[in-house]
Amino acid sequence: MLASALRINELLALDIQDLDFESCEIVVNKTLVWKAGNRKLGVRGEILCKNTPKTDAGNRRVPVPRETLQNLKDFHNEMNLYFDKHELPRTDLIFPTIYGNYMCDRNERATLKKRLTELGLPDYGFHLFRHTHASLMLNAGANWKELQTRMGHKSIKTTMDTYAELAPKKKAEAVDIYLKQIAKLTS
């Protein structure tokens, strides 16, 4: 998640065809959604794959290190070996359940929370990976438009409103630029 800044349900919707080794990109073109059930009618909730991401801008190609793609492919292959061993059908999903279905983000959130608690860490949740990615990108010199595209935001305003406080290095650089310009004018 940290390498791609994908939303949790974009990540859980990935299949092997979404890994583009030629361009070293993850293709984001779908997301998972929870369809609520109805206990009174005995209808269980279910995970559905929606053929479009959260927004139109969510349709994107996210450059990632080749090692990240290889790790995802290796994990996919390991899961299919597990399915073979247990005589279950293979899957194209990168992150399937042990039965080859879509994982539920609610279960994964609960697992993350449990692991963080066991380690004595605060429950930051999966969105922290996106925030950390954005902060690293901004501090490495990425511009706001690049970040907007990478994060899959429809509006640059969303990107700036959400992540502006994550660029403390940029604030310091702005002061340095100002001081250098003043020094040029006064020397």
By DSSP bridging, strand 25-28 and strand 31-35 are unpaired
pLDDT digit string, tens, across residues 79-99: 999 999 999 999 999 999 999
What three-state secondary structure class fits 166? Answer: helix
The dihedral of CA 25, 98, 36, 116: what is its sign?
A: negative
What is the structure's pLDDT at 139?
84
Q: Is the model's pLDDT at 141 over the cut of 80?
A: yes
Q: What confidence category does residue 179 fall into, taking pLDDT thresholds of 50, 70 and 90?
A: confident
The dotted CATH code for 1-121 is 1.10.443.10
Q: Where are the domains of the chain?
A: 1-121, 124-187
What is the structure's pLDDT at 176?
72
Q: What confidence category does residue 170 fall into, taking pLDDT thresholds of 50, 70 and 90?
A: low
Q: What is the torsion angle, in degrees rounded to the nearest 10, for the CA atoms of residue 70, residue 74, residue 79 and residue 83?
A: 120
Determine the longest span between alpha carbons in the chain, in angstroms.
80
Q: Tokens 């559905």 — which residue?
A: 48
